[in-house]
């Protein structure tokens, strides 16, 4: 007996640039779970104000990355900013944005 299979679409979002990819069943995806070097650089409080955290250790994290970000992640550290009171984190390449401002 054959079970009826529904086709489904999975949406994958790049953790760094927030680009989206929709992957239908059995199609291959280009956004891949990738081991990256990340460092937490601070957090945003409930008013969105950034608080810098120094001397955080370098961590290896698995992030869903698009092909462009994956290529960058080979040679660059990804900065993590967490959001106070949530489990959300914001990831960006250190050199891309002025995140390191005082
Ligand atoms: Zn990306």
User: What are the pLDDT digits (tens) for 61-74?
Assistant: 999 999 999 999 99
- Please say if the pLDDT value at position 16 is more than 60: yes
pLDDT confidence of residue 101: 45
24 domain-assigned:
no
What is the number of domains present in the chain?
1
For 89, the token pair is 């984190």
pLDDT confidence of residue 102: 39
> CA-based diameter of the chain, in Å?
65
- Please say if the pLDDT value at position 11 is more than 70: yes
pLDDT confidence of residue 2: 63
pLDDT confidence of residue 79: 95
19 domain-assigned:
no
Collapsed DSSP state (helix, strand, coil) of residue 2: coil
The backbone torsions φ and ψ at residue 27, rounded to the nearest 5 degrees and listed phi first, read -85, 150
For 29, the token pair is 């995806």
Q: Is 20 exposed, middle or buried (0-12, 13-18, 19+ CB in 10 A)?
A: exposed
Domain range enclosing 37: 31-101
Cα 59 to ligand 1 centre (Å): 19
Cα 73 to ligand 1 centre (Å): 10
Q: Report if pTM > 0.75.
A: yes
21 domain-assigned:
no
Region 12-35 average pLDDT: 94
3 domain-assigned:
no
Cα 9 to ligand 1 centre (Å): 20
Region 19-45 average pLDDT: 93
Separation between Cα atoms, residue 3 and residue 78, nearest integer Å:
44
- Please say if the pLDDT value at position 95 is more than 70: no
């Amino acid at each position: 007996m054959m079970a009826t299979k529904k086709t489904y679409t999975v949406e994958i979002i790049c953790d760094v640039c927030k680009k989206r990819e929709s992957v239908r069943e059995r199609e291959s995806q280009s956004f891949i779970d990738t081991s990256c070097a990340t460092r937490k650089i601070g957090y945003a409080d409930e008013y969105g104000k950034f608080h810098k955290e120094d001397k955080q250790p370098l961590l290896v994290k698995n992030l869903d990355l698009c092909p462009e970000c994956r290529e960058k992640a080979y040679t660059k550290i990804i900065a993590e900013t967490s959001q106070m009171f949530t489990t959300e984190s914001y990831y960006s390449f250190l050199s891309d944005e002025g995140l390191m401002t005082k």
